[in-house]
Chains A and B, each alone.
Chain A
């Protein structure tokens, strides 16, 4: 049997709330500490306890760590999903299971490793009975570690990190790991090809989740006010702000430069943040689609009244009775024009953890510079799953507090200023902040019914002038947006445009398309709306552009169509929306379905024919799609 080293996937099927998260994170972190590129995705239901949940780990020496749709190693702990889990193991794979599950095993093409988890836990009399189920998960960690060579030292490191150095739980769990190792050593004969070997590929990286990164970034951005309302998958962002503020903004006098409030709902959360932003504070809220829906009216008001505020949307599938624990990129068009009437939102699109950190601080600079809400669209995959990341970089620019007039500025202007006056011709007015003691500082804030001096008016001409200025401001915004990330390949005949957490899947899909089909592609990862000139250049430079995204309707595709109608024929929508983190195979297959070998302008029928000529070594694109669909079905 040929060894498969550092290139396989592991999926663990457990029950929600059974404590398996600690065990699964331990495996992930241990492999990471062995220097091997790895990712972990929690595929969980909306439930506290009882429903089936899966955790899937991808190990890949070449750094391709998007979620894999096939399972090389499966660990089945949950009787309810046992049959499915067994069926999901790839031929030649390995199957570990808890031997108290007395269900038939009908596969002979895989290695089977039954684990007496319950009896091994009971054998350790030091474990209190109510801890047995929790630490019992460490048996499969140990058995797996022995069978694929996970370094026990790194497992210990991972446990120490998880339990924050508390010796008792570390020991209790590590003893179970060792029991798992011992059992595997004495009872299992290695019948599968999967092995780990230490590498040197992760030593300069850190591992955490996007919500933590965003929270810490916000603190380095000087966040002063956070209001939030609990919602999966956004809660951990605000909770991390609460966790890290005391340490990062500690003062000698013990006083606070910040406040966090859990609001009564998302309307109030954004309302409070807008009030604070209006009052000159760096203010934010964080939520997900359903909460953002509730914030809509306030978002419109902040747009028109020109109040800086940062809103994180950790996207998921909605509504509450939908698939609330599944990832999505489907809030894009909604947020882009959130609010009644003519509105345009500034949107930042982090695609990596260090970008979650970076946009954490940068979003405040942009919001204050432009005096408008800034939405940061993250998602459940990047927000809640553990990702490898470059370490966080200290902000490379001083804070930009925007155009603010204090007492001495007003004194110099002799009080001659207008809150909504376009003095600089960039559509961005000057603002004063409540608490300014100058007698000409105050103004009355309302929606659109105001003139350049914030005086009440319903005059049509003044209204139109104001709306045109707001549009001009949106044009000026392009100067402050993060530029897209461009990856060019020599000889590329196609462009891929995507954003957010799909990057890993796209990079791997590019590799597959080249290797299997000889299709080379350039990749532009968008990081903000409105689009900057680099986007225009990329579109101009390519005959066909695949817009890859995780939603049903091709939302970024639609925005590009509206923004660049002259290039409409170049755009192909590759949209996918099953709620699971992106995989390279669906990106590849989606692109193959839309790919035109010939120059643009040819008929689709001809193109299809051409596409068939570019035949893969193994299967046609159509077959690949069918296969993928059936795999997906099987997995469910």
Chain B
């Protein structure tokens, strides 16, 4: 139903419109566990950027600390990246994106990094609508420190050394919506097709795009009864819709048998669209109250609700609000930055 991006005529068939091969988007070999959900997400990031013809130098990578935060090493070697502090990635990204307001951030965090130590910065980067994708590779457990409960672990979860989790979990998507995020989606690493489509939509969004991706930890939290396991996800995933990303200027071709009311089309900031189909109850992701309602309902019922939960493509980003010069700020020189010599007298005259 979606027209695939076609290679340029005359170019080798493995090059995209940016003239790059998929290899140009790869990173170092992963050092995470075999079967880790994070690796699958890294692969979808590579595919999404390659398919969208995004030049690696035009984006920035950010991460905090944890298994998830290691993963930016495993994609986009030609992209600047900053592996920062535990829970503090949002502030680094907020400042860094002022260097060149045309650039988009791709940030990877985990449930510990975001929902525990980094909850404050997470909420504030939402309300500032910083122009980046914020991926939470959510597995309910601390991996690098060997299997402690995270803040998204469900109450009653049994872990080998920890015993039973006594606390209610944090729902990252609901936190994001309440904090005025402009794009909120949940997905499941076991559903790579959906992950990729959501990534593409997120890349086309103007502003903060939260992707809470359930990404099972095969070493510490993959028992079939755990809510963040592959088995549970496969069994309990309830997609809100089937999502397809349509790049800008591509014709939207729908299957003939789709009927009105079964599909919804959402225009994103850069002219691209997402097509949502097989909607249950005509779900409208631009309705914030609905978004909170379905999120809460799924949390109450232990459903793994996936898809584009909320989107508002019209809000200005943080850097939009500053009316910055067109030249990237990092390219400005002394002429732009140091006031003229005549100003020193003016300033001295302003003092008493």
Are the chains A and B members of one assembly?
yes
A417 interface residue (CB < 8 Å to B): no
- Please name all residues of chain A whose beta carbon is closer than 8 Å to the beta carbon of B252 when the two chains form the complex: none
B325 interface contact, C-beta 8 A: yes
Nearest chain B residue, comparing its CB with the CB of A449: B83
Check A392–B344 contact: CB distance below 8 A. Answer: yes
**CB nearest neighbor in B for A297:** B85
**CA–CA, A399 and B332, complex, Å:** 12
Q: Answer yes or no: B10 CB below 8 A from chain A CBs.
A: no
A536 within 8 A of B: no
Contact with B along A253-276 (1 / 0, CB 8 A): 111110101011101111111111
- Name the interface residues of B103-157: CB closer than 8 Å to any CB of A: 103, 120-121, 124
Q: Is A444 in contact with B93, judged by CB distance below 8 angstroms?
A: no
Check A275–B95 contact: CB distance below 8 A. Answer: yes
**Closest residue of chain B to A25, judged by CB?**
B352
Q: Does A380 contact B (CB under 8 A)?
A: no
Task: From the candidates B61, B91, B100, B348, name the one contacting A391 in the complex (CB within 8 A).
Answer: B348
Segment of A15-23, A330-338, A434-442 engaged in the interface with chain B: A434-442
Taking the closest CB of chain A, its distance from the CB of B253, in whole angstroms, is 35
Tell me whether B329 is interfacial, beta carbon within 8 Å. Answer: yes
Q: How far is the CA of A330 from the CA of B91 in the complex (A)?
A: 28
Asked whether A267 and B91 contact (CB < 8 A) given A259-B98, A393-B344, the answer is yes
Binding stretch for chain B, among A280-288, A479-487, A507-515, A603-611: A280-288
B87: shortest Cβ distance to chain A, in Å?
Answer: 9
Residues of A within 8 A of B120 (CB): 264-265, 268
Q: Which of B55, B95, B331 contacts A271 (CB 8 A)?
A: B95
- B78's partner among A392, A398, A442 (CB-CB below 8 A) is A442
Question: In the complex, are the beta carbons of A261 and B331 less than 8 A apart?
Answer: no
- Contact, CB under 8 Å: A224 / B322: no
- Whether B85 lies near A441 (C-beta < 8 A) is no
Asked if residues A282 and B337 are in contact (CB atoms below 8 Å), the reply is yes
Of all chain B residues, which has the CB nearest A283?
B95
A97 at the interface (CB under 8 A from B): no
A274 neighbours in B (Cβ, 8 Å): 92, 95
Q: How far is the CA of A274 from the CA of B95 in the complex (A)?
A: 7
Contact between chains at B329 and A224 (CB < 8 Å): yes
Docked-complex contact B91 and A272, CB < 8 angstroms: yes
Asked if A445 lies at the interface with its beta carbon under 8 angstroms from chain B, I say: yes
Is B99's beta carbon under 8 Å from chain A? Answer: yes
Report whether A271 and B88 are in contact in the complex, using a CB–CB cutoff of 8 Å.
yes
- B95, B323, B338: the one contacting A222 at CB < 8 Å is B338
A268 touches B124 (CB 8 A): yes
B251 CB → nearest A CB, Å: 32
- Whether A442 lies near B77 (C-beta < 8 A) is yes
How far does the alpha carbon of A443 sit from the alpha carbon of B329 in the complex, in Å?
20
Contact A436 B57 (CB under 8 A): yes
Q: How far is the CB of A215 from chain B (nearest CB, A)?
A: 11
CA distance A576 to B225 in the complex (A): 64
Q: Are B91 and A275 in contact (CB under 8 A)?
A: yes
Contact string, B327-341, partner A, CB cutoff 8 A, digits 1/0?
A: 011111110111101
Q: How far is the CB of B105 from chain A (nearest CB, A)?
A: 10
Cβ contact within 8 Å between A435 and B352: no
**What's the nearest-Cβ distance from chain A to residue B131, in Å?**
13
Known contacts: A279-B100, A399-B338, A436-B57. The answer to whether A272 contacts B95 by CB under 8 A is yes
Establish whether residues A435 and B338, one from each chain, have CB atoms under 8 Å apart when the complex forms: no
Report B81 CB to chain A, min CB distance, Å: 4
Task: Provide the A395-415 mask, 1 if CB < 8 A to any CB of B, else 0.
Answer: 100110000000000000000
A261 to chain B, nearest CB (A): 7
Count chain A CB atoms within 10 A of each CB in B83, B90, B324, B339 and give the residue with the most. B339
Is the pair A207, B329 in contact by a Cβ cutoff of 8 Å? no
CB of A537 within 8 Å of the partner chain: no
Interface check B240, CB cutoff 8 A: no
Contact assessment for A437 and B324 in the assembled complex, using a CB-CB cutoff below 8 Å: no
Cβ A227 vs Cβ B95 within 8 A: yes
Closest residue of A by beta carbon distance from B72: A444
A225 touches B92 (CB 8 A): no
Task: Judge whether B98 and A219 touch: CB under 8 Å.
Answer: no
B96 at the interface (CB under 8 A from A): yes
For window 47-89 of B, CB contacts with A under 8 Å fall at 55-57, 60-61, 72-73, 77-85, 88
In this complex, what residue of B is CB-closest to A404?
Answer: B330
Once the chains bind, are A280 and B57 in contact (CB under 8 Å)? no
Q: Is B28 an interface residue (CB 8 A)?
A: yes
In the complex, A283 Cα to B329 Cα: how many Å? 12
> For the side of the interface on B, what is the size category?
35 or more
User: Across the two chains, which residue of chain B brings its CB closest to A259?
Assistant: B322
A442 near B85 (CB under 8 angstroms)?
no
Instruction: Select one of A158, A272, A399 contacting B352, CB under 8 A.
Output: A158
Bound-state Cα–Cα, A571 to B67, Å = 51
Cα(A121)–Cα(B56), bound, Å? 71
Decide: A255 and B329 in contact? CB cutoff 8 A. Answer: no
Do the beta carbons of A301 and B352 come within 8 Å of each other?
no
Within the complex, the shortest CB–CB distance from A464 to chain B, in Å, comes to: 21
Give bound CA distance, A275 to B82, whole Å: 9
Candidates B56, B90, B99, B352; contact of A280 at CB < 8 Å: B99
Q: Which one of A249, A275, A398 lies within 8 Å of B96 (CB-CB)?
A: A275
CA–CA, A442 to B25, complex, Å? 13
Nearest CB of B to A153, in Å: 15
Q: Is there contact, CB below 8 Å, between A301 and B73?
A: no
Given contacts A255-B324, A271-B91, contact A444 B330 (CB under 8 A): no
- Check if A248 sits within 8 Å of B91, measured CB to CB: no
Q: Find A219's partner among B82, B319, B339 (CB 8 Å cutoff).
A: B339
Q: Scan B223-253; emit 1 where CB is below 8 A from any A CB, else 0.
A: 0000000000000000000000000000000
Most chain A beta-carbon neighbours within 10 Å: one of B120, B334, B344: B344
B337 lies within 8 A of A222 (CB): yes
- B312, CB-defined interface residue at 8 Å: no
Complex-state Cα separation, A446 to B326, whole angstroms: 30
Closest chain-B Cβ to A403's Cβ sits at a distance in Å of 15
Cβ-defined contact, A442 with B57, below 8 A: yes
Interface centre among A279, A361, A441, by most chain B C-beta atoms within 10 angstroms, is A279
In the complex, A32 has a CB within 8 A of chain B: yes
Contact across chains for A434 and B344 when beta carbons are under 8 A apart:
no
Counting CB contacts under 8 A, is B276 at the interface?
no
Contacts of A298 in B (CB 8 A): 85, 88
| B124 and A264 contact, CB distance less than 8 A | yes
B343 at the interface (CB under 8 A from A): yes
B-chain residues with CB within 8 Å of residue A264 when the two chains form the complex: 120-121, 124
Which A residue sits closest to B89, measured CB to CB?
A271
Whether, in the assembled complex, A433 has its beta carbon less than 8 Å from a beta carbon of chain B, the answer is yes
> In the complex, are the beta carbons of B322 and A437 less than 8 A apart?
no
Indicate if A303 sits at the interface (CB-CB under 8 A).
no
Q: Contacts A257-B337, A259-B324, A274-B92: A279 and B99 contacting too (C-beta < 8 A)?
A: yes
Contacts of A557 in B (CB 8 A): none
CB of A281 within 8 A of CB of B99, answer yes
- Complex Cα–Cα for A273 and B60 (A): 16
Q: How far is the CA of A399 from the CA of B335 in the complex (A)?
A: 10
A432 to B81, CA, bound (A): 12
The answer to whether A281 touches B330 (Cβ under 8 A) is yes
Q: Which of A280, A435, A442 contacts B81 (CB 8 A)?
A: A442
Tell whether B351 is near chain A: CB-to-CB under 8 Å.
yes
Contact A248 B347 (CB under 8 A): yes
**List of B residues within 8 angstroms of A259 by Cβ:** 98, 319, 322, 324, 329
Q: Do B96 and A278 touch (CB < 8 A)?
A: yes
A221 within 8 A of B: yes
Instruction: Indicate whether A225 sits within 8 Å of B325 (C-beta atoms), given known contacts A275-B93, A444-B73.
Output: no
A90 within 8 A of B: no
Q: Contact between A392 and B348 (Cβ–Cβ < 8 Å)?
A: yes
Given A253-B325, A271-B92, A442-B77, 6 other A-B contacts at CB below 8 A?
Answer: A161-B352, A220-B344, A268-B88, A275-B91, A389-B351, A444-B72
What are 25 A-B interface contacts by the 8 Å CB criterion?
A161-B352, A207-B352, A212-B351, A221-B338, A224-B332, A225-B95, A248-B339, A249-B339, A256-B323, A259-B319, A265-B120, A267-B88, A271-B90, A276-B95, A276-B96, A386-B352, A392-B348, A433-B330, A434-B80, A434-B330, A435-B99, A442-B57, A446-B82, A447-B83, A456-B73
Q: Ordered nearest first, which 3 A-B pairs have the shortest CB separation?
A: A279-B99, A271-B91, A275-B95
